Amino acid sequence: MTFADLGLSDALLKAIAERGYDTPSPIQRGAIPDILAGHDLMAAAQTGTGKTAAFTLPLLQRLAEGSRAPARQVRALVVTPTRELAAQVHDSAVHYGAHLPLRAEVVFGGVKINPQIARLKRGCDILVATPGRLLDLHQQGAVSFDALEVLVLDEADRMLDMGFIHDVRRIVALLPTKRQTLMFSATFSTDIRRLAQGYLHQPREVEVAPANSTADTVEQWIYPVDKGRKPDLLSHLIRDRNWHQVLVFSRTKHGANRLAKRLERDGIVAEPIHGNKSQNARTRALEGFKNGRVQALVATDIAARGLDISGLPQVVNFDLPNVSEDYVHRIGRTGRAGAAGHAYSLVCAEEAEYLQGIERLIRRSLPREQVPGFEPTEPLPEPGAGRQRAGGRGAPGNRRPAGGGREAPSGQPRRRRRGRGRGRGAAAAGSGGNR
CA angle 254, 255, 256 (to 5 degrees): 90
415 CB burial (10 A radius; 0-12, 13-18, 19+): middle
Confidence of residue 175 (pLDDT cuts 50, 70, 90): very high
Amino acid 348 reads C
pLDDT value at position 213? 56
| 177-198 per-position pLDDT tens digit | 999 999 998 777 788 888 888 8
- 401 pLDDT exceeds 80? no
pLDDT value at position 424? 35
Do 232 and 360 fall into the same domain?
yes
SS3 assignment, position 338: helix
pLDDT value at position 75? 97
| 8-32 per-position pLDDT tens digit | 999 999 999 998 888 898 999 999 9
Helices within 19-82 (DSSP H only):
26-36, 51-64
Whether 420 maps to a domain, the answer reads: no
Whether 433 maps to a domain, the answer reads: no
Q: How many domains does the chain have?
A: 2
Report field, pTM of the whole predicted structure over 0.85: no
Do 20 and 119 fall into the same domain?
yes
* Residue of higher predicted confidence among 200 and 210: 200
pLDDT value at position 210? 54
Q: Using CA atoms, how far apart are residues 44 and 303, in angstroms rounded to an integer? A: 22
Q: Using CA atoms, how far apart are residues 140 and 362, in angstroms rounded to an integer? A: 45
Whether 369 maps to a domain, the answer reads: yes
| Residue 281, domain CATH | 3.40.50.300
- Within 13 Å of residue 196, how many CA atoms lie on the same side as its CB? 25
Nearest Cα neighbor of 365 from 394, 343, 325 is: 394
Do 243 and 167 fall into the same domain?
no
Residues in the chain: 435
Whether 31 maps to a domain, the answer reads: yes
Whether 304 maps to a domain, the answer reads: yes
Whether 423 maps to a domain, the answer reads: no
pLDDT value at position 303? 63
DSSP annotation string for 341-392: EEEEEEE-GGGHHHHHHHHHHHTEEPPB-PPTT---SSPPPPTTTTSPPP-S
Do 202 and 223 fall into the same domain?
no
Do 252 and 395 fall into the same domain?
yes
SS3 assignment, position 175: coil
Q: Using CA atoms, how far apart are residues 213 and 359, in angstroms rounded to an integer? A: 11
Range of the structural domain that residue 345 is part of: 218-407
Do 92 and 26 fall into the same domain?
yes
Partnered with residue 220 across adjacent β-strands are 343
Do 263 and 401 fall into the same domain?
yes
Nearest Cα neighbor of 46 from 207, 158, 189 is: 207
Q: Look over the chain and give the mean of its residue pLDDT values, rounded to a whole number.
A: 84
77 CB burial (10 A radius; 0-12, 13-18, 19+): buried
pLDDT value at position 385? 57
- 397 pLDDT exceeds 80? no
* Residue of higher predicted confidence among 405 and 225: 225
Do 287 and 352 fall into the same domain?
yes
Do 112 and 188 fall into the same domain?
yes
Do 192 and 282 fall into the same domain?
no
* Residue of higher predicted confidence among 90 and 430: 90
Do 33 and 157 fall into the same domain?
yes
Do 145 and 229 fall into the same domain?
no
Q: Mark which of 163, 178, 207 sits at the end of a domain.
A: 207
